[in-house]
Structure 1
């Protein structure tokens, strides 16, 4: 990119950041931190492509002032983890809504593929789920307890085993993003096809509702968060494929950091899903209304935290915007 185009594209951000450092503009701490990261990335880019230019000198001076003002006097909050989950991460996750939508659409598409394949080929379910699982489930159906698989392990053992496995899958989905996002897409495809064939298997046996009201007690969060982990992998892939104004390495590192934050955000949800599968799903005798309530609350929690809350935070007026709006009204 030519230096003039680089300056035109980013000068408004630099000016806003410089005014904020001079206390001429009031902006939120989150925006200030985001602008600082952008300025340092732009400095790295300018150092590579325009090392002797005035642009590089200006950005170097601006970054030095920012470092002195922000980090030398910064006190780490005692509730750092709480702040991450309630403010920092949801605000940032709003930027990845396209990757989240893509992960959701891919998962939905291949779930339909798995369902159609199972309906078209009687051997498909066994090839996907394995003979051992299919035979065990058929035996459970004959014994009038089709969901007995969730009662075989002890509660705590199942809780720990499922939670650890789900976190492992999420990390794999994230790491596979280094293959330009294609590795993540492949993992999503595998899980989605398995889900589609799994649900069709119970539909074919006349047990679709029994499977839904049991499996989705924990599966609502489990499947949703696998899609969110896939979003993390796609963020990594985007960082490699579309570096924008950054160097490809800088963009890749940014993608890794952002993707890792997404994975970390899923841990409480995976723990919740593991708890539900270990301690709640096994109670297949529970009334339908209770199962529906648990599923509904789980879905609402996922939609709120990963869709509605990030949108709310990013569309809430900042102090500066509020003051401006007040001035216009008065």
Structure 2
């Protein structure tokens, strides 16, 4: 019987050397979106809850600081970006910024907020190695920015309107930020409390899950940028704005936490 040729580095017993299926790029991408990414997010559910809590604490702190002393607005929001449109701005001016299409202030604020959130996402993950302390501070500060802005509009009776303007892209963008924070918290806590593992081994294990989550976070931030660029220019209905924002949030939650359950049930 003719023997099979043996490849360099393979033995006849290693049939995988001859018949092992090589997965192409489409299959790998499919595996990432169907299994790897949502699986990593589900694995980070505790850290995600912590990150969400930190964001809301920051929002409350930012709103409270500006409500107690409007000078805090300039301390939290860069003065060049605010351009005087802070607590002393009239309700008419603030309203016009929400519904008059492309305007200087909120366009600049949107661009700043998106750029800032991308930086926060990267830093929250990268600085998680410092026992998650910088990650926690970044989540709090990011919330303070939103809280400070909301307080200005809320005081003029425009809080719900600003919420709708932000909802179009904000539900995706802020969800991505919280996931990045969760990734950083996972790494930091595993290094601080490695258990029976060495700190390097614990960091490596946590880093695999966190890195997978962060690749997906970049996809979410890109989606948020597209939603912000299109929605801010063309959609002025509060109902439509909230519908889009709520729909996107439901989409992400369903994709991360419900899709796997349904798919397993179909097996």
TM-score scaled by structure 2?
Answer: 0.79
Per the alignment, residue 307 of structure 1 pairs with 257
Contact 2:128 2:184 (C-alpha < 8 Å) held by counterparts: yes
Shift of 1:79: 1.6
Per the alignment, residue 96 of structure 2 pairs with 145
Bigger shift: residues 172-181 or 244-253: 244-253
Partners of 1:70 and 1:318 lie apart in 2 by 30
Per the alignment, residue 130 of structure 1 pairs with 78
Q: CA RMSD in A?
A: 3.2
Q: Does 2:23 correspond to 1:76?
A: yes
Q: How many residues align?
A: 246
Per the alignment, residue 194 of structure 2 pairs with 243
Partners of 1:129 and 1:149 lie apart in 2 by 22
Per the alignment, residue 5 of structure 2 pairs with none
Shift of 1:301: 1.6
Per the alignment, residue 120 of structure 1 pairs with 68
> Which of these residues, 173, 181, 188, is aligned with residue 132 of structure 2?
181
Question: Matched residue of 2:174: which SS?
Answer: helix
Contact 1:159 1:278 (C-alpha < 8 Å) held by counterparts: no
Deviations 1:134-176 (A, max 9, x none): 33533895386223797258xxx99999766644331111001
- Alignment CA distance shift 1:194-1:143 (3 Å): closer
Give the unaligned 5+ runs of structure 1.
1-67, 320-330
**Aligned ranges for residues 155-234 of structure 1 at < 5 Å?**
166-234=117-185
Give the unaligned 5+ runs of structure 2.
1-13
**Aligned ranges for residues 249-328 of structure 1 at < 5 Å?**
249-283=200-234, 286-309=236-259, 312=261, 316=264
Partners of 1:200 and 1:265 lie apart in 2 by 32
